[in-house]
Amino acid sequence: MSAEVLARLPGQELAMAFLRRAAERPHHAYLFAGPEGGGKTLAARAFAASLLCPAGGCGTCRACRLALADRHPNLFLVEPEGRDIHVETVKQEVWHPAYRTAPEPGRKVFVIREADRMNAAAADALLKVLEEPPADAVFLLLSARPHELPETIVSRCHVVTFAPLSEAFVVETLVAEGAEPERAAIAARLSGGNLGRARHLALDPDGLAFREVARRALERSAGGPAGALEAAEEVLRAAEAYRKDLTGSLKDELAPFLDERGRPEEAYRGAVRRLEERHKRRVRRAERDYVDRVLLAASALLRDRVVAAVGGGSELLLNPDVAPGPAPTVRTAAALAAIEEARAALAEDLNLNVRLVLERAFLRCGPS
């Protein structure tokens, strides 16, 4: 058995060694537990590829390429919609397909990201499947808060623990992958040790664009009420551009399952429908995801100003490449609180008007 694909995740040797052994005779359910950014998602993709690949995870065949991109027809992916994973999602994406014939010969793999966000009814629906699992199905649950999952679910899974990644390790990995050392250090600091996020920040030419949007928004908000409204508008324009970029990616995702006329092949209609629905959810989330990223960057920039104001050194800064500049400590701390309140409000209530939340936050960041 190849399992080459399971040798590619750095920093989690114990977890990956366990998965290499597990791929030979897989259990029906696994819980990947560990902090955000520790590699759980990458490991789940690699493990799914090893289960779906005829050679056991060669890393190069069609099955591996599709599984590593979350696009294999036999791969079913569940993510939160808003704050929760709802029972209807579990029934449609897990329960019903688990007992049906797979689109392609071989196993079916079900990946549930942020599994701790299942509501009680969704957890009950999943439990029924785990109690009587189909012989050809493997379930992968991912969670940074495994203690919030029902014990009845955890007890039916093999738990695979992912350790936190140190900042030094993230920097070393990024440099080995071709990032400039200074950019790698900035990315590791900003990502809080999240290797996937740090990789995007360090290796994508536009990886730090959202921070520039945040910096300009804070500058505008310092000019008073008119500037605060302009700041909110600039963030929303950038978020809309990001959403439009995502919209055009669906065609490439569907290409492997379409015939020469561009229509879904009969055997892949279900897979195409899932990809389309997943894409719609991603596009719906895109604006808020980008806005949250900008607000998080603004929060980090304001935090650095507070650190500098109280005499903290550059080693304490989240943005060591950006000079914090002088700032009144109390007013800057109030602005930081306003930004964090906006982030929390948008995460808590999906019906809030994003523009109004941003305008209120940036108005509070300006001069009193």
User: What is the value of pTM for the model shown?
Assistant: 0.77
Q: Decide if pLDDT at 10 tops 90.
A: no
Read off the pLDDT of residues 208-242 as tens digits, 9 standing for 90 and up: 899 999 999 999 999 899 999 999 999 999 999 88
Sign of CA dihedral 358, 360, 361, 366: positive
**pLDDT value of position 17:** 92
Q: Give the start-to-end residue ranges of the domains of the chain.
A: 4-164, 168-203, 209-365
Which secondary structure element, helix H or strand E, spans residue 139, and what is its range?
A: strand 137-143
Q: How far is CA 107 from CA 29, 94, 150, 278, 358, in A?
A: 13, 14, 26, 21, 46
Distance CA 321, CA 259 (A): 50
Mean pLDDT for the chain?
89
**Domain boundaries 4-164, CATH class:** alpha beta
Instruction: Please state which of the ranges 28-37, 238-247, 275-284, 337-346 shows the lowest mean pLDDT.
Output: 275-284
For 323, other C-beta atoms within 10 Å of its C-beta total: 12
Instruction: Please state which of the ranges 63-77, 258-272, 319-333 shows the lowest mean pLDDT.
Output: 258-272
127-133-136 Cα angle (round to 5): 145
Distance CA 78, CA 88 (A): 11
pLDDT band for position 9 (50/70/90)? confident
Read off the pLDDT of residues 49-73 as tens digits, 9 standing for 90 and up: 999 999 999 989 999 999 999 999 9
